[in-house]
């Protein structure tokens, strides 16, 4: 794979997730890539995520229609911090995810909304430049986000 290419260009059909599980080194690299994002990089990621969500699901989009885009971007930045921290230390983050589940409870967010959100955000995160192949990064982020979403939904159902 040509590492000199932008991350988007590296996400090609040959870039399939291997059966090999994510190593702790890859995990550390993927988390560090999110934690170390500059404000400008975060903005690009957030923009990419919302554009993709808009295309993927008009139904999910309606949840964000009346929100201020800057506030929304700040919230997603907060989500990324939460997710990176959760991946690094699930136990410590339990209470934060419970808080998030409660915050989302009144919003009538469906299982399908969570599924689309998770997939689209994992795709956006997988496009961050870095040494881990995009398909492996995507698989990692899907798993992490699914864990967060599952707990949020359990809390939301209580
Ligand atoms: C992995 C799943 C998700 C994470 C980690 C997440 C994260 C967050 C965070 C951190 C906030 C800010 C909460 C606060 O005010 O303290 C938030 C708010 C919000 N989330 Fe999520 N979220 C997730 C899934 C979803 C889904 C599936 C939807 C709907 C399609 C959604 C819609 C919203 C909305 C509408 C707000 C309120 C924004 C505002 O009031 O400005 N979220 N989310």
Dist. CA 146–CA 55, nearest whole Å: 21
Nearest CA to ligand 1 atom 14: 103
Half-sphere exposure for 120 (CA within 13 Å, toward CB) = 23
Sheet strands (E) in 5-153:
none
User: Could you tell me if the CB of 144 is within 6 A of ligand 1?
Assistant: no
Question: How many angstroms separate the alpha carbon of residue 46 from the centre of ligand 1?
Answer: 13
pLDDT tens readout for residues 29-70 = 999 888 888 878 888 888 888 889 889 988 887 888 788 877
What domains can you pick out in the chain, each with its CATH number? 38-157 (1.10.490.10)
User: Could you tell me if the CB of 71 is within 6 A of ligand 1?
Assistant: yes
% of the chain residues with pLDDT over 70: 85
List, as one string, the DSSP characters of 5-21: S-HHHH--TT-PPPSSP
3-state secondary structure of 67: coil
Dist. CA 125–CA 95, nearest whole Å: 24
pLDDT tens readout for residues 126-151 = 999 899 999 999 999 999 899 889 98
Residue of 59, 100, 93, 94 whose CA lies nearest to 76: 100
Query: In the structure encoding, which two tokens stand for residue 99, read together?
Result: 């808080």
Query: In the structure encoding, which two tokens stand for residue 9, read together?
Result: 């260009």
């Amino acid at each position: 794979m040509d590492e000199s290419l932008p991350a988007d260009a590296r996400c090609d059909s040959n870039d399939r997730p291997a059966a090999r599980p994510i190593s702790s080194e890859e995990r550390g690299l993927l988390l560090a890539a999110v934690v170390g994002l500059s404000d400008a990089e975060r903005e690009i990621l957030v923009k990419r995520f919302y554009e993709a969500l808009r295309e993927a699901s008009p139904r999910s989009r309606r949840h964000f229609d009346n929100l201020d885009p800057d506030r929304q971007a700040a919230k997603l930045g907060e989500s990324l911090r939460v997710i990176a921290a959760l991946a690094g230390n699930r136990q410590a983050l339990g209470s934060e995810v419970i808080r998030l589940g409660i915050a989302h409870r009144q919003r009538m967010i469906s299982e399908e909304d969570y599924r689309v959100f998770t997939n689209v955000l994992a795709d956006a995160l997988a496009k961050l430049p870095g040494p881990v192949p995009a398909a492996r990064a995507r698989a990692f982020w899907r798993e992490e986000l699914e864990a967060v979403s599952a707990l949020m939904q359990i809390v939301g159902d209580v």
